[in-house]
Amino acid sequence: MISWDEAGSGPPAVFVHGNTEDRHSWDAVWPHVTQTFRCIRLDLRGHGESGDAADYSALAMAEDVATVVAEAGVDDPPLLVGHSLGAVVVTAYASQAPARAVVNVDQSLAFGAFGAAIQPLKDMLRGDGFADALAAVFAGLGVEALPPDAREWADAKHAAARKEVVLGTWDLVLDTPVADLDALAATMLPAVTVPYLAIHGSEPDPGYETWLTSLMPSATVEVWPGNGHYPHIVEAERFARRIAEL
């Protein structure tokens, strides 16, 4: 079972949260976006109030989006908004199903680079060092940019992360050669032809924008400096105004 809720009216928009979190990651922006869109947000499998599954890969989680789109009776192609892991999920969905546009909140799609960074932690993540390794990953996300209440919520979610779910989302990245991860991106991204807005809270790696737009010409990259991993929370009103332009 995939848990979801909705609010507002207007063109449909589907919001997908990041790893270890849930649909309440959109609480800060919810009062603003529901003035413009019929907003639907879901808990991915293994997160929040949704049930567990055998497959926690981002590609499988795209099926959760499809399930909710169908259950909600969404007939028009929706705006898809994903944060972190959710951005990979909605990108995968948009590569194979109709969408109005896609908003990627602070998630690099250079899967090979992510694999190169995280694969050295593979043994810790799969062993007794899981909590420490995960904390090291989250420490680099810029949570200090969040307002105190939002940071407390995010820190609690990260600390309560379920090992089997986190590893399920990262298994592909942990076990696949970097060159093959790059090939996966090169296969998926050209299939997304709708407007694609990538908002980053800090500068991506040098050359990332050129690489992304070479594979996905519909992509636009914006950097909102100082927002860390959560620009949709740090600047909720600005975020709502920006996605309403799509």
The string of pLDDT tens digits covering residues 186-232 is: 999 999 999 999 999 999 999 999 999 999 999 999 999 999 999 99
Q: Residue 163: its pLDDT value, please?
A: 97
Q: How far apart are CA 176 and CA 192, in angstroms?
A: 23
Would you say the pTM of this structure is higher than 0.85? yes
pLDDT surpassing 90 at residue 140: no
* pLDDT above 90 as % of the chain: 98
Given the DSSP bridges, would you call strands 4-7 and 38-42 parallel, antiparallel or unpaired?
antiparallel
Do the Cβ atoms of 96 and 223 come closer than 8 Å? Answer: no
Q: How far apart are CA 6 and CA 88, in angstroms?
A: 22
Q: Residue 169: its pLDDT value, please?
A: 97
Closest to 77 measured CA to CA, from 89, 88, 90, 64: 90
Average pLDDT of the chain, as a whole number: 97
Structure tokens at 105: 């909140």
Q: Residue 246: its pLDDT value, please?
A: 96
What's phi and psi for 60, nearest 5 deg?
Answer: -70, -35
21-75: pLDDT as tens digits: 999 999 999 999 999 999 999 999 999 999 999 999 999 999 999 999 999 999 9
Q: Which domains does the chain have, with CATH numbers?
A: 4-244 (3.40.50.1820)
